[in-house]
Each structure stands twice: as C-alpha cells, then as structure tokens.
C-alpha cells in the first residue's frame, strides 16, 4: 500500500476525486486551497490498483506545470482495511511496484560513477583471491558486494519502456563494470601466472547446461524480486555469480597467457550475460511492464522485439560455438 499525494490546481479537484472513486482507492481526503490556488489531495491506494491510479493521474495532469505526484510508503494503517480485489490482469499490474517506482530504483542502480567502479574493483580483488585460493566462502563474499545486477536489469527494463537514454546508460555502465573487472584480473594473472590451476578456476572454463539454467533463473528471479517489492540483495548475489567469477577467470587466464582456457571462460561469460538479460527481459514482458502512452508503447514494442531477437540469435551462436569447441577438444 502507498500514500499518493497530489499537488495540483484546485480546478482539478472534481476530476481527481472522480479518479479515486473510479479506482476504488482505500481512502481519499484533501485540504483547503492554498494562496497559490493549489490543493493537496491524498489517496491511500493498495498495490493492485496503484498503477492504474498513477496512470490516470498522469493523463489528467500531464499538461500542468504546477502539478506534482508524490508516492510515499505506508508501513501500517489502523484500523486495518480490506484490500479491494485487484484487476485480474497481470498485464496491467506489475506486482507491488509501479512503473515509476521501478524506474526510480533501477535507474539509480545503473549509474556509472566512482562508487560503482570502486565496488567493482574491490569485488574483483576479492573474487580473484577466492578463485586462486579455491575458497568458495571468499567467492561468495565477492558476489555480495558486486554491483553488477543494476546495469543488466536496467538494460532489460529500458527496452521494455523504449527508453533510449536509459538503454545507453545501462550499456555504458555494464561495459565499464565488466571491462574494469577483466582489466584488474588481467593484471593479477600477469603478476601471479603460476597460481591459476584451482578447481574453482577450471570450473569456469567450460560451460554446461547447468550454467545456462543458473543464468536464466538469476535474471528472471532478479526482475521478479524487483517488481514485487522484495529485497534484491540475495538475487543480486545470484546474478553476480553468473558474471563476476567468469569475468575474473577470463582476465586472469588472459594475463597468464593461457589462451585456450581463456576462450572457454570467455564463452561462459558471454553465455551468462546473454541468458541473464534474455530472462530478465522475458520476465518484464510477463509482468506487463510497459510505457503509459500509446506512442511510447509503439516505440517500446519495436525495441522489445529487436532486443529479444538479438539475444536469442546471440545465444544460438554461442551455443553452436560451444558445441564446436567441445568436439574439437574431444
């Protein structure tokens, strides 16, 4: 449940109260008109109706330069209220998070800044030590602090909305993060080339069906946790497991000159990146995340089709390369 506060011209009051009645909000009240001619109206809206209410409010207030919509969390409300039945349509209800709430959260986690790069640097160092020392606990620790969930989920989300600016931002952040991780790992492999034969490293030079399934499940679970308002911290660890160790392994093997093993690690990383993004995109599609206006929806449909096609074709090419590599090795 959320408290939706609307600041708008007093003339909009009948329309706003009509929206509240139409969508059966839990409660609605407003204060007197201020000296600037605006009123503050508040609606207590349950999760199932919130996206419909927000869309209706934006349609009414889109041309107003003085209007503002504020969405606030509600810990508890007393007396307890029975939640009205939500529309039985997963295409119009994204779980407990609205499109706008998702955008605010996802865009923030996809920003390329010094904090993101520093966390990639630190998590790569920890992951490399864990891989070299064959220490699973240390590798898991690196996954906890790795910030790689944000830009990958952001890319899938941006294509759902047809947001070109967010797509570009997500690509830059993702490439910068993986590139920095590999660069650091190359330096480690160059300095310590004789310590790269642990079972944890060798396990990430050969991709199998289990790895593909893990990456697919990780991307889907991450989106599901976001759209339902659950914590994505643990799911972020799953996504990081699919991305950071293979990237660190690839970099260290390249740095030590072991190109044959590095090719295997590169295939693992590429397949995982594709699978995480593909499953995340499909989950956003299943949850009905889409733009508000028809023109934006039209643009988004084009980007969604291109996005899914690219990932499916890329995954097919990678799987074919893996099969050919396996036959050559045997």
Would you state the pLDDT for residue 161?
A: 86
Query: What torsion, rounded to 10 degrees, do the Cα atoms 313, 314, 318, 320 define?
Result: 20
Would you state the pLDDT for residue 78?
A: 83
Which residues, given as ranges, of the chain have pLDDT below 50?
88-94
Chain segment 31-63, per-residue pLDDT in tens? 898 888 999 999 999 888 888 999 999 989 988
Peptide bond into 79 cis (omega under 30): yes
SS3 of residue 191 by DSSP: helix
CB-CB neighbours of 67 under 10 Å: 18
Q: What are phi and psi of 302, to 5 degrees?
A: -65, -45
Would you state the pLDDT for residue 290?
A: 82
- For 83, which DSSP code? P
Would you state the pLDDT for residue 94?
A: 47
Would you state the pLDDT for residue 292?
A: 74
Please provide the DSSP assignment of 108-150 as one string: HHT--SHHHHHHHHHHHHHHHHHHHHT-HHHHHHHHHH---HH
What is the C-alpha to C-alpha distance for residues 200 and 202, in angstroms, rounded to an integer?
A: 6
β-bridge pairing 27-30 and 2-9: unpaired
- For 84, which DSSP code? P
Q: What are phi and psi of 229, to 5 degrees?
A: 80, 10
- Contact (CB, 8 A) for 185 and 248: yes
Q: Which residues contact 306 (CB under 8 A, 6 or more apart)?
A: none
What is the C-alpha to C-alpha distance for residues 172 and 112, in angstroms, rounded to an integer?
A: 7
pTM confidence score? 0.81
What is the C-alpha to C-alpha distance for residues 151 and 153, in angstroms, rounded to an integer?
A: 6
What is the distance, to the nearest Å, from the Cα of residue 2 to the centroid of all Cα atoms in its chain?
22
Q: What are phi and psi of 288, to 5 degrees?
A: 75, 25
Packing angle, helices 233-255 and 209-227, rounded to 10: 140
Largest CA distance in the chain: 81
Residues facing 9 on adjacent strands: 38
Chain segment 89-100, per-residue pLDDT in tens? 444 444 567 888
Domains and CATH numbers, the chain: 2-73 (3.30.70.120), 102-329 (no CATH)
Would you state the pLDDT for residue 79?
A: 82
What is the C-alpha to C-alpha distance for residues 131 and 137, in angstroms, rounded to an integer?
A: 10
What is the C-alpha to C-alpha distance for residues 116 and 112, in angstroms, rounded to an integer?
A: 6
**Which residue, 112, 130, 132, is CA-closest to 174?**
112
Would you state the pLDDT for residue 69?
A: 93
Would you state the pLDDT for residue 138?
A: 92
């Amino acid at each position: 449940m959320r408290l939706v506060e609307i600041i708008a011209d007093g003339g909009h009051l009948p329309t706003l109260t009509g929206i509240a009645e139409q969508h059966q909000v839990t409660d609605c009240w407003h204060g007197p008109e201020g000296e600037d001619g605006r009123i503050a109206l508040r609606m207590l809206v349950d999760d199932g109706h919130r996206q419909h209410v927000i869309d209706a409010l934006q349609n009414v207030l889109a041309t107003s330069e003085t209007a503002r919509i504020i969405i606030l969390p509600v810990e508890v409300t007393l007396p307890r209220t029975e939640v009205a039945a939500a529309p039985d349509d997963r295409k119009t209800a994204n779980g407990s998070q609205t499109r706008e709430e998702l955008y605010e959260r996802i865009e923030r986690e996809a920003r390329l800044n010094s904090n993101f790069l520093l966390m990639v640097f630190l998590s790569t160092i920890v992951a490399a030590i864990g891989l070299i020392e064959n220490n699973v606990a240390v590798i898991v620790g690196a996954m906890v602090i790795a910030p790689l969930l944000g830009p990958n989920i952001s890319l899938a989300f941006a294509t759902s909305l047809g947001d070109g600016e967010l797509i570009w931002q997500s690509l830059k952040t993702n490439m910068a993060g993986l590139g920095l991780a590999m660069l650091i790992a190359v330096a480690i492999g160059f300095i310590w080339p004789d310590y790269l034969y642990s079972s944890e490293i060798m396990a990430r030079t050969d991709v199998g069906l289990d790895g593909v399934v893990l990456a697919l499940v990780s991307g889907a679970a991450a989106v599901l946790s976001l759209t339902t308002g659950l914590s994505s911290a643990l799911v972020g660890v799953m996504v990081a497991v699919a991305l950071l160790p293979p990237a660190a392994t690839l970099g260290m093997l390249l740095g030590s000159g072991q190109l044959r093993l590095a090719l295997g690690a590169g295939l693992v990383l590429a397949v995982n990146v594709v699978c995480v993004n593909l499953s995340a995109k499909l989950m956003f599609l299943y949850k009905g995340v889409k733009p508000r206006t028809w023109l934006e929806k039209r643009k988004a449909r084009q980007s969604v089709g291109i996005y899914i096609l690219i990932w499916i074709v890329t995954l097919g090419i990678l799987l074919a390369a893996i099969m050919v590599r396996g036959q050559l090795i045997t």
